[in-house]
Chains A and B, each alone.
Chain A
């Protein structure tokens, strides 16, 4: 089955700096790669996702890049703000369109943005 590795486990940056979180996956059939932000006691919230037919996607300060050959994808947050502090999870799946295909999550990255 799919296995997703995520690094680093913790990341501390100064406000305004950029933050990068990296993930690798094992199943070459995976084609959907979302990133989630989770705050304490709440369910994960989707912040950005990418499908295997594109290499990069950007939404304001957040971007995700995908390298299918190397089977890795990364989250980039620019101009970080204290409210970006949270736990971030990457995930992979064979695609939401395939019934019964669950998301497999990385272990998470605790991002701390200090002002």
Chain B
């Protein structure tokens, strides 16, 4: 079945630095990828929708300059958390629509210290 590989699974960074999270579709082409954020014991909140070759569409309240999304190819979408602060600490998950439904990455636990 369709597989999305997400890396890294865990990352700890210092305040003020930037972190890049990658999601790759391994056996299919993902025209559209979705990025979610999940706080502990909370639901998955849609952050943005990225389409290959165009600018991402951000949900209301999500800072596009802080969460940079790039979808330069049909198999790779990246989320860069810029100038990270402790409040950006969260679980980030990507998803892609594929034949038969949606497939999710395994998530990235970001801790900003």
Is chain A's binding surface mostly helix, strand, loop or mixed?
A: loop
List residues of chain A with CB within 8 A of the CB of B105: 43
Q: How many chain-A residues does the 8 Å CB contact rule pick out?
A: 23
Is A68 engaged at the interface, CB distance under 8 Å to the other chain?
A: no
CA distance A34 to B43 in the complex (A): 15
A29 within 8 A of B: no
Q: Determine the interface band of chain B, counting residues with CB < 8 A from chain A.
A: 20 to 34
The 0/1 profile, CB within 8 Å of A marked 1, for residues 81-113 of chain B is: 000000000010101011011101111010000
Query: B111 to nearest A CB, angstroms?
Result: 12
Q: Quick check: is B17 within 8 A (CB to CB) of the other chain?
A: no
Question: Residue on A with the closest CB to B48?
Answer: A102
CB-contact partner of B34 in A32, A34, A103, A110, under 8 A: A103
The CA-CA distance from A101 to B106 in the complex, in Å, is 20
Q: Which residues of B contact A102 (CB under 8 A)?
A: 34, 46, 49, 95
When C-beta atoms are compared, the residue in chain A nearest to B47 turns out to be A102
Cβ-defined contact, A96 with B106, below 8 A: no
A32 vs B6: C-alpha distance in the bound complex, in angstroms?
A: 25
Q: Is the CB of A43 within 8 A of B102?
A: no
Nearest residue in B to A6 (C-beta to C-beta)? B43
Do residues B97 and A89 form an inter-chain contact, with CB atoms below 8 A? no
Structural contact, B43 and A105, CB atoms closer than 8 A? yes
Which residues of chain B in 1-25 are interfacial with respect to chain A, using CB atoms and an 8 Å cutoff?
A: 6
- When each residue 76-96 of chain A gets 1 if its CB lies under 8 Å from chain B and 0 otherwise, what string results? 000000000000010001001
CB distance from A40 to the nearest CB of B (A): 10
> Which chain A positions have C-beta within 8 A of B75?
none
Which one, B36, B43, B46, B102, contacts A96 given CB within 8 A?
Answer: B102
Taking Cβ atoms with an 8 Å cutoff, the residues of A that contact B are 32, 34, 41-46, 49, 89, 93, 96, 99-108, 110
The 9 closest A-B pairs by CB, nearest first: A43-B104, A96-B97, A43-B106, A102-B34, A43-B107, A107-B43, A105-B44, A105-B43, A102-B46
| B residues whose Cβ falls under 8 Å from a Cβ of A | 6, 31-32, 34, 36, 41-46, 49, 51, 57, 91, 93, 95, 97-98, 100-102, 104-107, 109
